[in-house]
Amino acid sequence: MINILYIDADESLLHLCKKYLERSSDLHVDTVSSVLEAEKMLSKQRYDAIISDLYLSWMSGLEFLKKLRLKNDRIPFVLFTGRVQEDTVIDALNSDVDSFLLKGNNPISKFSDLEQMVRHAVHNRWKEEATSLKTKAFDRALIANFMVDTQDRVLEFNSEAMRIWKISERSLLMGLDVKELLEHSEIFDVIKASIDILGRWEGDFTARRQDGSTFTAYAHVNSVLDDTGKLTGYHVALTDVTNKKNGEEALKKNEENLRLIADSSSDWIALLDRTHVVGYSSRAIKDMTCHCPEEITGLGISTLVHKDDVTKLTNYLKALQLNGSPKPLELRLVKKDGKALKVEMTGRTVKDTDGGFLRTLLITQDISSRPKAAAASPAVKTKAADVNVVATPEDLDRLMDVKGHLEVVKERTTDPWLMDRYTLMDTLLDAVIDNATSIMEFQQIGSREAEWQSIHDLLRDIVTRVDPEDVHVQVLAKRLEVLADPMLDRVFFSLIDNTMKHGGKAHKIWVTYEIDGDDARIIYEDNGIGIPEERKSCLFERRSGKHGLPLASAILGATDIRITENGIPGKGVRFEIRVPRKCFRLRE
């Protein structure tokens, strides 16, 4: 649609011209009788062309044209007027009028010519704007662009091309044989041969700078034809992919290392996309269900779950995407033979560099052999047996070494795609490191004889080491000694760590004790925000990356000591550690 503004003092001529021009469905005409009205219309909407009489009240059509051009407004302008002197015509042409048409004795007969002049002026203007946009796009493109003629000479190029080739003066590149920009000059002959057959070429090659350095370029090359179909040159668009190529090689190596690490775990590790389709599966799935990882990759996770648990899993995954980390989910996987396997699934979301959702990471444990209740020492052994794998300090050192190499490679790339892949790998690696650390800590429980330990002295040492910043710790247990695993300090470290990380504005911690019948109760309290009721049931359940309080419970359980949390949400935590008579004594 071409929108036209027509200015003329002759109301009847305005009406007739509008009616004639609007016979064409792609023309719309608004009419006004003065420049003052025209300026009001132009302030309200955009027009593609202006038709104006020369002689108008308040301001003439020629004066209005000059005013527009002074504002650098290049809107097509056609003067449609009566008899006029030659110097006025020259003045109009010098003022960049697009067309000049005399009304003559019968203005209506000129409407057809007027329409053609308007169309021609508008279409020329659109072509100019398109050419300007193309030029700006070429010059300001974030990738290197240059034009090569049929003699292989560089005719035009943008600033990005100069930056990539490290050329400071345009004269050094203008007219240069394009083969001098390539490490292997014959590659351009191959490119031209491909274009002769396919009309285009896409691929990578090694480019050479004038200082002798090289880089890997990925390019799109197209032929440029004139209106008759004759070849006039080539358009080359390329980008430096050296970092990406090097990064991809490092990424591939790190992915292989991470897969080896993940596949060594008895926990099933899987990555799901936004639609809950399995994108990666560790080898543990075969031990659990007899399905090979290759068989389930590309399938929806629900196809592996018992039909009665599908809705529960779907709701869990939705909550995971919304809230980040709901508590672990117990459900049943379906084995290849159709039998059900009880598992515990823990999930976390993986985000991209902008904080957007990218993947869901699931870590699944086989809990089919987990007893419903057990004595203290067997419970500790059961925890270690659940992971069904032994972790050593050397294993953890290797994991940290992989993470260090990953960080080095990550610092050397700015490619968004690679950064997202690094994020995925980093999250997967953190999960494996958390599991390995947890396994090692649980393995240590019960490995040494229980020993008598002073609660007061133990906490004094922990506070000195941890230095809980603005949190004041008060301990009223000077006489109390407890017979417990040598890892008892980890119990109180986990409690203080919980306060500092999740206690909100907590600034006080109290540790006291009471004699309750034959038992002693150690009471740990703070003045933070407490723990929501819905989270209390899973506080001491072992989960990947969440082993602080579960580890504390297992350490205490090694000598029949029990821990519970019965604080009031919003008023702080209250952990009660119940010590049986055989495991505590009071100093004189």
Would the pLDDT of 372 be above 60? Answer: no
Distances (CA, A) of 575 to 77, 357, 491, 568: 84, 36, 11, 11
Write down the pLDDT at residue 99: 93
Look at the chain and report how many structural domains it folds into.
4
Q: Which residue, of 188, 205, 240, is where some domain finishes?
A: 240
pLDDT tens per residue, range 307-343? 999 998 988 888 887 766 557 888 999 999 999 999 9
Write down the pLDDT at residue 545: 42
pLDDT tens per residue, range 254-306? 556 556 666 667 788 888 888 889 988 888 899 899 999 899 999 999 999 99
Write down the pLDDT at residue 253: 60
Q: 445 in a domain, yes or no?
A: no
Q: Could you list the residue range(s) of the whole structural domain that residue 65 is in?
A: 2-138
Q: Average pLDDT of 137-165?
A: 88
Identify whether residues 382 and 464 lie together within a single domain: no
Write down the pLDDT at residue 2: 94
Average pLDDT, the chain: 84
Q: Average pLDDT of 514-543?
A: 87
CATH code of residue 570: 3.30.565.10
Q: Cα–Cα distance between 63 and 176 in angstroms, integer?
A: 50
CB-CB contact of 208 with 166 (8 Å): no
Q: Cα–Cα distance between 434 and 227 in angstroms, integer?
A: 66
Distance of CA 121 to the CA centre of its chain: 47
Q: Which residue has the higher pLDDT, 264 or 539?
A: 539
Write down the pLDDT at residue 333: 93
CATH code of residue 12: 3.40.50.2300
Q: Which residue has the higher pLDDT, 542 or 365?
A: 365
Q: 202 in a domain, yes or no?
A: yes
Identify whether residues 134 and 145 lie together within a single domain: no
Distances (CA, A) of 417 to 215, 287, 308, 428, 430: 20, 33, 38, 17, 20
Identify whether residues 185 and 259 lie together within a single domain: no
Write down the pLDDT at residue 28: 95
Identify whether residues 234 and 353 lie together within a single domain: no
Identify whether residues 90 and 173 lie together within a single domain: no
Write down the pLDDT at residue 435: 73
Q: Which residue, of 138, 168, 192, is where some domain finishes?
A: 138
Q: Average pLDDT of 127-146?
A: 83
Q: Which residue, of 138, 162, 192, is where some domain finishes?
A: 138
CATH code of residue 410: 3.30.450.20
Q: Cα–Cα distance between 51 and 118 in angstroms, integer?
A: 8
Distances (CA, A) of 52 to 100, 318, 461, 570: 10, 64, 92, 76
Would the pLDDT of 8 be above 60? Answer: yes
Would the pLDDT of 98 be above 90? Answer: yes
Backbone phi, psi, residue 230, to 5° = -80, 140
Distances (CA, A) of 231 to 222, 227, 228, 234, 563: 11, 10, 9, 8, 83
Q: Cα–Cα distance between 567 and 570 in angstroms, integer?
A: 9
Write down the pLDDT at residue 19: 93
Backbone phi, psi, residue 277, to 5° = -90, 140
Q: 433 in a domain, yes or no?
A: yes
Write down the pLDDT at residue 6: 96
Q: For residue 573, give every residue at least 6 positions away whose Cβ sits within 8 Å of its Cβ, in sequence order, or none.
A: 498, 499, 503, 524, 525, 526, 528, 530, 531, 565, 567
Identify whether residues 103 and 225 lie together within a single domain: no
Identify whether residues 466 and 427 lie together within a single domain: no
Q: Identify the weakest region by mean pLDDT among 131-145, 290-304, 498-512.
A: 131-145
DSSP state of 79: E
Strand 154-157's sheet: what is its strand order?
Answer: 154-157, 144-149, 231-240, 214-225, 200-208
Q: Identify the weakest region by mean pLDDT among 81-90, 241-250, 448-457.
A: 241-250
Q: Which two tokens stand for residue 176?
A: 């240069």
Write down the pLDDT at residue 387: 41
Identify whether residues 15 and 44 lie together within a single domain: yes
Q: 446 in a domain, yes or no?
A: no
Identify whether residues 392 and 456 lie together within a single domain: no
Q: 34 in a domain, yes or no?
A: yes
Please identify which residue in the block is written with the tokens 């591939």: 252
Write down the pLDDT at residue 77: 96
Identify whether residues 512 and 538 lie together within a single domain: yes
DSSP state of 169: -
pLDDT tens per residue, range 166-197? 998 888 888 999 999 999 988 898 898 888 88
pLDDT tens per residue, range 412-425? 777 777 777 777 77
Q: How confident is the model at residue 443 (pLDDT cuts 50, 70, 90)?
A: confident
Q: Cα–Cα distance between 556 and 485 in angstroms, integer?
A: 7
Q: 443 in a domain, yes or no?
A: no
Write down the pLDDT at residue 386: 42
Write down the pLDDT at residue 415: 75
Give the range with max mean pLDDT: 20-24, 136-140, 584-588.
20-24
Q: 526 in a domain, yes or no?
A: yes
Identify whether residues 207 and 317 lie together within a single domain: no
Q: What's the predicted TM-score (pTM) here?
A: 0.38
Paired strand residues for 478:
none
Q: Which residue has the higher pLDDT, 425 or 366?
A: 366
CB-CB contact of 494 with 549 (8 Å): yes
Identify whether residues 406 and 547 lie together within a single domain: no
Q: 210 in a domain, yes or no?
A: yes
